[in-house]
Every structure is written in C-alpha cells, then in structure tokens.
Amino acid sequence: MSAQGMTFCFMASDRGNILVFDDGNERAAIVTGDLILFGEDMVLQARRLSEHVSQAYLRELEEVNPVSLTIDADYPGGNIVVEKIQGDTVYLRQDLRDTEGWWFYWNFRVRGAAGRTLKFEFTNGNPIGVRGPAVSTDGGTTWSWLGAEAVEGASFAYAFAKDAEDVRFCLGMAYQEADLQRFLKRYADNPHLSVKELCKTRKGRVVERLHAGKLDGQPRHRVLLTVRHHACEMMASYVLEGVLEAILADTDDGRWFRKNLELMAIPFVDKDGVEDGDQGKNRRPHDHNRDYFGQSIYPSVRAIKDLIPKWSEGRLRFALDMHCPWIRGKYHETILFPERLEGKENWQRLMVFLRMLEHVQAGPLVFNLEDSLSFTSWDGSTRNRDDDPPRTFSRWVRTIPGVFFSAVVEIPYANASGQAVTAETARAFGHDLARAMRKYLESLE
C-alpha cells in the first residue's frame, strides 16, 4: 500500500488473486495464475476478491464494459504494445525491440469484441499500409485486406461480427512456419521435393532448406532462392510458394524443371525473427542481410556461406533474394529489382532475365522493366558500390564461381502498380518467375 500515488494492493487468500488499483491514474489491473493484462475501463476478471475491494466499484466497471476485451500478440509472429484502452479506442504501437530506428511491422489478436466497433490508433508513426490492415478471422490461416476506406491517418476502425471470437490484424498477410508446413503437406509424397535442415537457430529452431526439381543425379542447372533475411517481409514467402508450385506442377514447365533443374530455397533465413514477430530489418548490431562479410554472427548465414559454395559445383546459375520494401511510395508499390548500381556485368546479365520475365509474365502482378531501369538507390544517391565489401547475400553469392548473376527482388506489401498483392496474386507472380527462369536457363544451353 502506498499513500503517494494512491496505489493499493489486496490479496484474496482463497484464490491468490491480486488487485492493483491506482486511484491517481484511474487504472486497475488484476493478476492471477494466468497472465492477463487489463487497461482502463476494462472488466476485472476475478471471481473472488478480498472483502476490502468495493463491490460497488466492480459493478461500476462492469456497466462501463460488460464484455472481456483482450488484445495480445502471444502467438507465432505476434507483435504489439498496447498502451491504453479508452472506451472503444485502443492506443497501441509496433514493438521495435532491437531495431535501430523506426520500422512498421505489427501483428495482433483481438478477442471479446463481438458486436463492437473499435478504433485502433497507432502512437508511433503511421505503420498502416496503402490497403489498410490485413485481417484474418480463422486464426491466421487466410487473410484479406480491410481496405483504405477503414483508415484515417494512423488509425483504422473495425466492426466485429456478433459471433467474432478471434480476429487478427497485421501489417501484411502473415506467413509463419505453420503456413510453410501446410504448403509442404500438399507435397508430402512427392519425390521431387525434399526438406532438409540448414542449421538450428540461436533459440534451437530448425532453419529449413528445400530442394525441388531434379533430385536424383546431377542436374544441368542449379538456382538458389532466399527469403526472409528480414523477418517481417512476409509477402515474398507467397512468391516462393508460387515458384515451387510451378516446379512441381504436372505441366510442360514442371516436367522441364524436374529434368534439368535443382532449386534450393531457404524460406526463413531469420527463423527466430519470423516466429518471434521481430521487425528483422535494421536489427542491432546488424541484420541478417548485412552479415555476409567477415565473421558472421547468425547461424543461418554461417551455414549458407559454408554450404552453398559446396552445393554449387559450378552449376549455380543465379540466385534471387526475395524481399519486401517500404509500405508506401513510388518504388515501394511496384515489383522492383534494385540492382542497377551493384556491378555492370551482373546488371547486364540480369537485364536479359528481366526482359524475359516481362515477356512471359501472365499473372495479375505485372513487372515493368522501366521501373528497375529508372531506379538509382533507395536514398537517391548514385554512388557506385562495386568496391564495397560483399556484406549482403546478393553481393556475396556473386563471388561463387560460375554464378551468372544475383539479384534482390522487392515484392510490395499491398499494392503493385495498382493491383492488390495477396497470397493468390503473389503465388501467381511466382509462377511467372518460374517461367522466366526456364527461358533464361534454356538460353544458356
């Protein structure tokens, strides 16, 4: 009990519940055996409290908010800090954790809001994308865009259905290990897809490496795809699914791949970050995609640097590192290969591939070569980086003998040249990438 600040603590001997009431700030909370967080104007969830607690005060709280509202991020990929709740407005912010500077990833769950309309107001910048938040009502299995019309500044409003139990909101369409496992289950008996362990993370999680295509004997070509060097860049994961679908499909392209190509894909380079719900980008002291020069500090990067030169055997033709850019703006709402300043010879070879991609693409997300041609750098500088150390994956992999080119491909979070980026449209772009891969590899023969 504290006189200054009017903070009182009571413990009920029969259940061990602790009620904390700060009269000065009009805040109340209850702590039980389970971790439950409550803010202003929320119902106290204790069945029995000490006789010292005013039952009239509890009845007053129940009249203000008769339904238990909980907001959390206690699941894979979750990320949020709830600052306070006032009536039907929730004030919250993204959890930056070990991020240097500002970033925009968030992913949270709301329960106990059936029949209500709530406003979610972000307090640290505007981390909402151009199509509003992604929404899932099935525990994160499927997602849809809420729409820009629900957004006002750094806030959005959502009307919960009367039977809503678990609704999730995210910067984008979250993609976790559970999503990968659902995808792999479709091909569990397919001899042309193999799942192996690249390494274990600092926290003991398995970092998968996938092999698809010609897995018996020596393939004519090898290609490497990496995803989630930055944990929050989830839309690229759906593109990877599309590439794998094309390689494993019962089509002319699929049969050609399974005869001529072995593709290796690393779906979660920053596996801990993906599952923990980190930003990943600009992680201190540096993120996974800045760990390729000198002594690498991340187990997955060390494993990549050790394995890929051996696996290549002179057959690794190219590598693509899949990312997502910023959440809005000219170059952030278009599919982009931002490699123009990172090696003249590499760019010339990549140009051949990009022209082929522009020619063969058939999906709703359209790649426009002119966008990549007009790109200089994210900060507008024109400094040539050819002499810089190979700190990033795309620069490092280019040092392996036999590699024709490497590139970063940026998949927008929500909007690509006016088209909605969704799980389905991103997979379709993966199919287009696969078609371009075949055309390019055939040109080398």
Distance CA 171, CA 92 (A): 14
Determine the pLDDT at residue 234.
98
405 and 419 inside one domain:
yes
81 and 54 inside one domain:
no
Phi/psi at 56 (5° precision) = -65, -35
32 and 89 inside one domain:
no
Tell me how many domains the chain contains: 3
165 and 214 inside one domain:
no
Determine the pLDDT at residue 218.
94
Distance CA 414, CA 172 (A): 7
- The enclosing domain of 97 has a CATH number of 2.60.40.3120
How buried is residue 54: exposed, middle or buried, by Cβ count under 10 Å (0-12/13-18/19+)? exposed
Tell me the pLDDT of the chain (445 aa) as tens digits: 333 333 333 333 333 334 444 434 444 444 433 333 444 333 334 333 334 445 555 455 444 444 589 999 999 999 999 999 999 999 999 999 999 999 999 999 999 999 999 999 999 999 999 999 999 999 999 999 999 999 999 999 999 999 999 999 999 999 999 999 999 999 999 999 999 999 999 999 999 999 999 999 999 999 999 999 999 999 999 999 999 999 999 999 999 999 999 999 999 999 999 999 999 999 999 999 999 999 999 999 999 999 999 999 999 999 999 999 999 998 899 999 987 656 678 888 999 999 999 999 999 999 999 988 888 666 655 444 555 678 999 999 999 999 999 999 999 999 999 999 999 999 999 999 999 999 999 999 8
118 and 240 inside one domain:
no
Determine the pLDDT at residue 194.
98
Distance CA 131, CA 421 (A): 10
Determine the pLDDT at residue 67.
54
- The enclosing domain of 269 has a CATH number of 3.40.630.10
190 and 267 inside one domain:
yes
Distance CA 63, CA 444 (A): 73
Distance CA 33, CA 52 (A): 21
Last residue of one domain, picked from the residues 28, 45, 64: 64
Tally the residues of the chain: 445
Determine the pLDDT at residue 35.
37
The pTM is what?
A: 0.85
Determine the pLDDT at residue 368.
95
Distance CA 286, CA 389 (A): 15
State the residue range of the domain holding 17.
7-64
Determine the pLDDT at residue 344.
76
Tokens of 246: 């094309």
159 and 217 inside one domain:
no
Per-residue HEC secondary structure of 57-99 comes to HHHHHHHHCCCCCEEECCCCCCECEEEEEECCEEEEECCCCCE
33 and 76 inside one domain:
no
Instruction: Give Cα 225 distance to the centre of its chain.
Output: 16
Asked if the structure places residue 1 within a domain, the reply is no
Using alpha carbons only, how large is the chain's radius of gyration in Å? 25
Residues whose CB falls within 8 Å of the CB of residue 55, separated by 6 or more in sequence, listed in order: none
Last residue of one domain, picked from the residues 170, 200, 230: 170
Per-residue HEC secondary structure of 379-422 comes to CCCCCCCCCCCCCCHHHHHCCCCCCCEEEEEECCCCEECCEECC
Asked if the structure places residue 2 within a domain, the reply is no
92 and 55 inside one domain:
no
265 and 384 inside one domain:
yes
Tokens of 250: 């019962």
Last residue of one domain, picked from the residues 170, 200, 222: 170
Residues whose CB falls within 8 Å of the CB of residue 167, separated by 6 or more in sequence, listed in order: 109, 110, 111, 113, 135, 136, 137, 158, 160
**Under 8 Å between Cβ of 434 and 260:** no
**Under 8 Å between Cβ of 336 and 370:** no
